């Protein structure tokens, strides 16, 4: 390919800021937001590649307030093993 990841949007649609981010909410948001910033900085603004959250272990830590104000997170992934928790968000 001969391209850096920043120039590979044909092959890469998004980077996840942190995998398996099941931590204390304050630690989780700090880490995800800082990792997202690092990813965006390394993409040098030259990329169409998005940066996403991990989705967390359950709905409550998938949509933490800090994610909505981060300049570096472009997609918030929601996750929960309980359909009852998700149906109110998905079908609101």
Q: Please state whether the predicted TM-score (pTM) of the whole model is above 0.85.
A: no
Q: Considering the domain boundaries, does residue 5 fall inside one?
A: no
Q: How far apart are CA 92 and CA 67, in angstroms?
A: 20
pLDDT at 86 (0 to 100) = 84
User: Is there a contact between 28 and 61 (Cβ–Cβ < 8 Å)?
Assistant: yes
Return the pLDDT at 20: 62
Domain range enclosing 86: 12-90
What is the residue-level pLDDT of the chain in tens, covering all 92 positions?
577 888 888 889 999 987 665 667 777 788 889 999 999 999 988 778 999 998 777 888 888 888 899 999 999 998 888 888 888 777 76
pLDDT the model gives residue 23: 66
Reduced to 3 states (helix: H, G, I; strand: E, B; else coil), residue 6 is: helix
**pLDDT at residue 69, rounded to an integer:** 93
| Domain count along the chain | 1
């Amino acid at each position: 390919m001969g391209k850096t990841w920043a120039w590979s949007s044909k092959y890469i649609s998004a980077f996840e800021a942190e995998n398996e981010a099941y931590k204390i909410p304050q630690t989780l948001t700090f880490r995800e937001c800082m990792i997202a910033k690092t990813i965006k900085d390394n993409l040098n603004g030259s990329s169409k590649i998005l940066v996403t959250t991990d989705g967390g272990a359950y709905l409550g830590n998938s949509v933490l307030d800090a994610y909505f104000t981060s300049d570096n997170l472009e997609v918030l992934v929601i996750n929960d093993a309980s359909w009852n928790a998700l149906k109110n968000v998905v079908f609101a």
